[in-house]
Amino acid sequence: MKFFDRIAYLWRTYPRIADGLIILPLLGLILLTSSGAMTSATFPVLVYHWPDWALQAVIITILVLHMAPWVFRRTNPVASAAVVVVGSLVQLFFGPEVIPSMVMVLLTVQNLAHLAPSWASIAGFVTALIGAVLYAASVTLMPHFFGHRAGGEADIFGPVSTPMFVLPISIPVIALVVLAWAIGNVQRTRRVRVETLQARTEQLEIEARQERELAAADERNRIARELHDIVAHSLQVMISQADGGRYAAKAQPEIAGQTLETIANTGRDALNQMRRLLGVLRDTDDAETSPQPTLADLDELIETVRLSGLQVDLHTTGQPTHELAEGAELVLYRVIQEALTNVARHAGPHASATVTLHWRDTGVAVTIDDDGAGTTETDNAGQGLVGMRERTALYDGTLHAGPKAGGGFRVHAHLPYNGA
């Protein structure tokens, strides 16, 4: 099967070589075996006095003009057909009535219908029909003679029929022309269908590649947000604990020991989370995974933030009336985590924060207020606020963040219920 596949590949890749390997040996065979014998065929009276070598030259010319253009019939079908028409005109006025290469006229009509533009296909079809009628008229109405023989001059004989026989004689030739044109049109329809399917396949491959690239970009952004949340929050707690432990080391060594233990636990937890995230990124089957945090883990988050010295209060109002979309609770958790990390980092000493979780009829809202004297990230700086907005936008939510009129900073996010 591989041999035939290779032949088909070469046939499509090198059309002139492929067609030339078929038609040129056939042309050479006909020239060597039949061109001399055809000088005794029936010729029109226009060449009555021509010698044998001239008649043979006419025959060779017709054979070459009919058959040689087949070499470039796929790359330039219109030019190939034009050369065949010239060869047919030479045969009509100077050549024998029947010659083996006449079959190339039908193949050219088929080739035009298959590969040429529509106008060339129709023009070739009409030209072939006219040629069929002219050929019948030439055979029936023009005086002919048998070619020269070794014994001497051949006699001229007049028309073999009356004009009424032109149409009946041309009907078989017309039928062959119509059949060749119909076959070419069937091939054209199939070719156009195959090309359409190939173009559609290539378009689908391009779209699939673009979707994979977009999915990869989204995944990279998601991983960047997760890493930012994990690293920023954990490092803030560790830095605050380290600062507190440094001052307490001299006066109260036992508090310093507890602080170091808290730093170690926080760093160890952050390292484990990063390992799990990177394990999933490597797409290993045995990657260690753990459930993503939800709103049920807010108390633990608040306790961790308090270890950094930031006073945080959590208030919950209302009850959920519908279910949130899968992953929405993780978004709210990360928004609260990022906002509290920013408060601990930028709000200044002695700042406090309040987290309010409010369940509404349309969804759930979370508000993080602080009374710090500093400022948090601006809308155009850092990963924090940008990441929060991207997370909420994925679930058709909204997020507003900015300084409050009386001082401090507020972050407010709202996510609708699933299907709302």
Q: 165-224 pLDDT, tens per residue? A: 677 778 899 999 999 999 999 999 999 998 889 888 888 888 888 887 777 777 667 666
C-alpha distance from residue 294 to each of 249, 328, 330, 332, 397 (Å)? 36, 9, 5, 8, 17
Q: Which neighbouring-strand residues pair with 356?
A: 315, 367
Quick one: pLDDT at residue 116? 92
Provide the angle, in degrees to the nearest 10, between the axes of the packed helices 166-251 and 328-346: 40
- Name residue 353's beta-bridge partners: 312, 370
| Residue 274 CB coordination number (10 Å) | 15
- Contact between 302 and 343 under an 8 Å Cβ cutoff? The reply is no
Check if the beta carbon of residue 222 is closer than 8 Å to that of residue 230. Answer: no
C-beta separation of 59 from 86 below 8 A: no
Residue 397 has φ and ψ, to the nearest 5°, of -100, 180
Domains parsed from the chain with CATH numbers: 2-161 (no CATH), 295-420 (3.30.565.10)
Element (H, E) at 314: strand 311-317
Q: Is pLDDT above 90 for 53?
A: no
* Residue 228 C-alpha from the chain's centroid: 35
Model pTM? 0.55
Biggest alpha carbon–alpha carbon distance for the chain: 140
Query: What length does the chain have?
Result: 420
355 beta partners: 314, 368
pLDDT of 36: 72
pLDDT-derived band at 302 (thresholds 50, 70, 90) equals confident
How crowded is residue 123: how many other Cβ atoms within 10 Å of its Cβ?
A: 15
Q: Which residues does 311 contact at the CB level (< 8 Å), separation at least 6? A: 351, 352, 353
Q: How far apart are the first and last CA of the chain?
A: 58
181 vs 405: CA distance, rounded Å:
84
Q: Please write the tens of the pLDDT for every residue from 271-291.
A: 666 666 665 555 544 445 556
Q: What is the mean pLDDT of the chain?
A: 80
Residues 250-266: what's their mean pLDDT?
A: 64
Indicate whether 51 pLDDT > 80.
yes
| Cβ proximity of 379 and 336 under 8 Å | no
Residue 54 in tokens: 């001239």
Helices vs strands, H then E, count in the chain: 11, 8
Inter-residue long-range contacts of 147-152, CB under 8 Å, 24+ positions, other chains counted = 147/38, 147/39, 147/40, 147/41, 147/42, 147/43, 147/52, 147/55, 147/96, 148/39, 148/40, 148/51, 148/52, 148/55, 149/40
Nearest to 246 by CA among 259, 230, 232: 259
